[in-house]
A and B are shown apart, each in its own frame.
Chain A
Amino acid sequence: MKEGDIRFIKWLVLVNGAVPLALLVWDQAHHRLGANPQNFLILTTGMMALIFLTLTMAVTPVRKVFGLNWVIQLRRMLGLYAFFYACLHFLCFYSLDRAFSLSSTLHEIVVRKYIWFGMTALLVMVPLAITSTNAMIKRLGGKRWRALHRLAYVAAVAGAIHFYMQVKADVRLPLVFIAVLAVLLGYRALNYLRNRKPAPVPAPAK
């Protein structure tokens, strides 16, 4: 695929990734986020973070299964969107649910197990976002960079568990996320096992 086409597709991702945020802001400005807009903002930003994490996880399988090598070039932007929405999600929790109280936010982070998973996902994405630039990839070297960025799996799994644990009773939607992630990660695990070099045959004992 041509350089110009890739640039265009990146623009597509950039614009479309911002659409949910634009609609959230628009709806909020028109008081159309329902009876509990605070809750809606927290839930929707969290959901968007999880959707983008899942899309990031889907890049490599899609590339390999459909032979679309160029999709790899979208991964950074998808990952950064995941981090962006996760940050918004946390800010909404801090401002709307905890009313800007630092102490009660910290208290909640310490005592709620489901928040441990959410915070894990968020914190794990911080070094990934920082090292997402070309310069950082060069500085770290491809091998170390790839190893570090396997943390994205941790973020995705922790994020999905966080969602599952937070739901009151109807766990169908979190289970959908978990199922999709299981397929994507299962594909990678299978690939890994298949590509692993066969163990060297030990010399026959004499």
Chain B
Amino acid sequence: MLKDDNKILSREVTPSALYFNRRNFIRAGILATSAVATGLVYRKLNPIGTRAGPGVHTKKIADVQKFAVTTTNGDSGFTVNEKETSFENIAHYNNFYEFSTDKEEVAVKAANFKTDGWTISVEGLVNKPRVFALDDVLKIAPPEERIYRMRCVEAWSMVIPWIGFSFSKLLNAVEPLSSAKYVAFQTLLDPARMPGQNSDVLQWPYVESLRMDEAMHPLAILASGIYGGTLPAQDGAPIRLVVPWKYGFKGIKSIVKIKLVADQPRTTWSDYAPREYGFYANVNPHVDHPRWSQATEQRIGEPGRRATLMFNGYEEQVGHLYAGMDLRKNF
């Protein structure tokens, strides 16, 4: 018996080794192929590691007036002495649901957005309602560089060198009536050019609003550029609102209509979730979003967390607008 077994074994040794070698080889191949396939699926579903942002073309804006940080005679707040966020990050990390709800996808979807023939209608409770061509709006006041902190309600922040001018200058040009208490803003509604508007994730068009005294504050600007050039589409081209002491969503982008009204208008995010997003949306480290803390923020491009500042660090300039108001109720 033993002898027989040995015979069978000896006959089998060589082919079996070959067989196992070949099988191991195939298995190694399957293992490697499957790992690559998993990697590709991961990349496809989660494409950040390989997605190069599209090139961004901006035109230089001439004769931009710059401000120095000044503490004598009170600080204007027009410039902040903190490291500016890179152009790359400002142009490739955007909340602009009109294009995509994926912040890193907005630049891709907005790459071919055209703003030719853009007009802005300024209407409502004003003496001189007017439909402005974009160029006429830009002629209202010379461009200024405003280096502002930008604090998103999602607890991340940037420092952005905007180019624009105080919104009050446009208001003065149309002569508001004394009955005007609020300014209502509206973004372009055109699902063909803004593909995100084909989904009903928010109610389109996007609308925002400021109280009249907020709108008249010199820190509130109409911006048409960043980093010395025109505004990339993903940042709200051709013209947008920037209100540095409020959460970013108040800074409505790609504006086509501005209407002065007597009663507080509806606004997109507080319509969507009134418990989470208020009309005022002033940056406030003491009033949390129901789902996350607003006490700290992630400064884009920086490790660690920063403490969030009251009114985003503009308390000295804007605190008086809210004197006596309960900021927990009016969040």
Shortest CB–CB separation between residue A15 and chain B, in angstroms? Answer: 5
Complex interface: stretch among A27-35, A128-136, A145-153: A27-35
Known contacts A112-B292, A169-B201; A27/B49 CB under 8 A: yes
Shortest CB–CB separation between residue B38 and chain A, in angstroms? Answer: 4
Cβ contacts A to B, 10 pairs, < 8 Å: A16-B38, A34-B92, A34-B93, A35-B104, A35-B301, A36-B300, A47-B46, A108-B293, A111-B288, A170-B97
The residue among A27, A47, A169 with the most chain B CB atoms within 10 A of its own CB is A169
Shortest CB–CB separation between residue B222 and chain A, in angstroms? Answer: 25
Instruction: Specify which chain A residues have a CB less than 8 angstroms from the CB of B35 in the assembled complex.
Output: 15-16, 19
Asked if B39 is at the interface (CB within 8 A of a chain A CB), the reply is yes
CB–CB B300/A35 < 8 A = yes
CB–CB B46/A38 < 8 A = no
CB–CB B93/A19 < 8 A = no
CB–CB A36/B272 < 8 A = no
CB–CB A32/B93 < 8 A = no
CB–CB A27/B201 < 8 A = no
The residue among A107, A112, A165, A166 with the most chain B CB atoms within 10 A of its own CB is A112
Instruction: Specify which chain A residues have a CB less than 8 angstroms from the CB of B321 in the assembled complex.
Output: none
Asked if A12 is at the interface (CB within 8 A of a chain B CB), the reply is yes
Shortest CB–CB separation between residue A46 and chain B, in angstroms? Answer: 12
Q: With A and B bound together, what is the CA distance between A19 and B35 in angstroms?
A: 7
The residue among B49, B93, B156 with the most chain A CB atoms within 10 A of its own CB is B49
Shortest CB–CB separation between residue B267 and chain A, in angstroms? Answer: 14
Shortest CB–CB separation between residue A111 and chain B, in angstroms? Answer: 8
Known contacts A15-B35, A169-B101, A169-B202; A8/B46 CB under 8 A: no
CB–CB B201/A36 < 8 A = no
Q: With A and B bound together, what is the CA distance between A111 and B156 in angstroms?
A: 20
Instruction: Specify which chain A residues have a CB less than 8 angstroms from the CB of B296 in the assembled complex.
Output: 99
Asked if A44 is at the interface (CB within 8 A of a chain B CB), the reply is yes
Instruction: Specify which chain B residues have a CB less than 8 angstroms from the CB of A33 in the assembled complex.
Output: 48-49
Q: With A and B bound together, what is the CA distance between A91 and B5 in angstroms?
A: 58
Number of interface residues of B (CB under 8 A): 39
Interface residues of A in 10-47 (CB under 8 A from B): 11-12, 15-16, 19-20, 23, 26-27, 30, 32-36, 38-40, 44, 47
CB–CB B93/A35 < 8 A = yes
Q: With A and B bound together, what is the CA distance between A177 and B305 in angstroms?
A: 31
Interface residues of B in 24-76 (CB under 8 A from A): 27, 30-31, 34-35, 38-39, 42-43, 46, 48-50
Q: Which one of A12, A23, A39, A170 contacts B43 once the chains associate, using CB atoms below 8 Å?
A: A23
Q: Shortest 8 CB-CB distances between A and B: which pairs?
A: A35-B93, A170-B101, A27-B49, A35-B89, A34-B48, A19-B38, A16-B38, A32-B49
Q: With A and B bound together, what is the CA distance between A78 and B104 in angstroms?
A: 30
Asked if B320 is at the interface (CB within 8 A of a chain A CB), the reply is no
CB–CB A19/B39 < 8 A = yes
**A27-71 toward B: CB 8 Å interface, digit per residue (1/0)?**
100101111101110001001000000000000000000000000
Asked if B291 is at the interface (CB within 8 A of a chain A CB), the reply is yes
Shortest CB–CB separation between residue A48 and chain B, in angstroms? Answer: 9
Asked if A73 is at the interface (CB within 8 A of a chain B CB), the reply is no
Asked if A90 is at the interface (CB within 8 A of a chain B CB), the reply is no
Instruction: Specify which chain A residues have a CB less than 8 angstroms from the CB of B103 in the assembled complex.
Output: 35-36
Instruction: Specify which chain B residues have a CB less than 8 angstroms from the CB of A108 in the assembled complex.
Output: 292-293
Instruction: Specify which chain B residues have a CB less than 8 angstroms from the CB of A138 in the assembled complex.
Output: none
Q: With A and B bound together, what is the CA distance between A27 and B42 in angstroms?
A: 12
Q: With A and B bound together, what is the CA distance between A27 and B154 in angstroms?
A: 24
Interface residues of A in 66-114 (CB under 8 A from B): 97, 99, 104, 107-108, 111-114
Q: With A and B bound together, what is the CA distance between A170 and B301 in angstroms?
A: 25
CB–CB B49/A20 < 8 A = no
Instruction: Specify which chain A residues have a CB less than 8 angstroms from the CB of B201 in the assembled complex.
Output: 169-170
| Nearest A-chain residue to B202, judged by Cβ | A169
Asked if A196 is at the interface (CB within 8 A of a chain B CB), the reply is no
Asked if B117 is at the interface (CB within 8 A of a chain A CB), the reply is no
Interface residues of A in 105-129 (CB under 8 A from B): 107-108, 111-114
Q: Which one of A11, A23, A30, A168 contacts B31 once the chains associate, using CB atoms below 8 Å?
A: A11
Asked if B270 is at the interface (CB within 8 A of a chain A CB), the reply is no
CB–CB B292/A36 < 8 A = no
